[in-house]
Structure 1
């Protein structure tokens, strides 16, 4: 099989395609602290958030960002009048800041959940707990990622 030598027209066509691809192709943009704050604001507006009540257990260093274990537990008696309604987890270095949301009822008995998440790079994990009273609690932990799990 014989191939023809590339012509000037072929080179210009490839250059035009490469240029258009660079301009028009979506870029991988990662969330940041402002994106996490915007997501939280969408959920809760400007409501005051306190620290405490949330135990967020993540590794300080994750060897592989594909499988980072995350455990969260919120102190609550889980009675009909005082319970955790929701827990939201955000990552400020992933393409999308919202990672997971959990809903709880008093029937759960305990406000705790575990998951494994993908982390693209070293970043903060932010957790927000919404109580039945309307009170909000938040905590943050930093995870150093050696090998990114989102194509990083």
Structure 2
């Protein structure tokens, strides 16, 4: 049988194996994006989110939405008994509502994180911190973006 038999075997496999395969590719705009509130509710498991204990530093006027510096700080002594577990950042109008989730612990030292994010257009950004006692605290900030990013996904 040799190489010819192996080739026929592969061809037969592909012919029969591909008949049951159906790939559906929906355009990105056809997939429902969760709202800002839905994304936060998923992160918190439906728990109440309180205002305070979190400071969100976001420039109010952004010249270019491709790289926006953002810092989130949560009030916590960062001890074994009282620390921040996670800090999440959400946005109102980007193609994805969830931006990032940072996992922290008592050995983190400070409950402060910084990163750069893309902003598709002028919108509200929300930071939510989960504390070790299971409570959730948040802060909101608005940014006006003069040159938007991510616009190909919004059209």
1:68 is the counterpart of 2:71: no
1:26 is the counterpart of 2:5: no
Q: 2:28 and 2:87 mapped to 1: Cα distance?
A: 30
Q: 1:39 and 1:125 mapped to 2: Cα distance?
A: 12
Report the counterpart of residue 80 of structure 1 in structure 2. Answer: 80
Shift of 1:46: 2.6
Shift of 1:41: 1.6
Report the counterpart of residue 120 of structure 2 in structure 1. Answer: 120
Report the counterpart of residue 135 of structure 1 in structure 2. Answer: 135
Compute the TM-score of the two structures, normalised by the length of structure 1.
0.77
Q: 2:26 and 2:133 mapped to 1: Cα distance?
A: 46
Q: 1:53 and 1:27 mapped to 2: Cα distance?
A: 36
Distance 1:83 1:27, change over 3 A: closer
Shift of 1:151: 3.0
Report the counterpart of residue 35 of structure 1 in structure 2. Answer: 35
Report the counterpart of residue 109 of structure 2 in structure 1. Answer: 109
Return structure 1 stretches of 4+ with deviation > 4 angstroms: none
SS in 2 for 1:101: strand
Distance 1:28 1:133, change over 3 A: same
Compute the TM-score of the two structures, normalised by the length of structure 2.
0.76
- The size of the alignment, in residue pairs, is 128
Q: Once superposed, what is the RMSD of the aligned Cα atoms? A: 2.1
Shift of 1:121: 0.3
Unaligned segments of structure 2, at least 5 residues: 1-24
Shift of 1:149: 1.2
Q: 1:27 and 1:42 mapped to 2: Cα distance?
A: 21
Q: 1:131 and 1:27 mapped to 2: Cα distance?
A: 34
Deviations 1:61-104 (A, max 9, x none): 10000011101110100000000000000011100100011010
SS in 2 for 1:38: helix
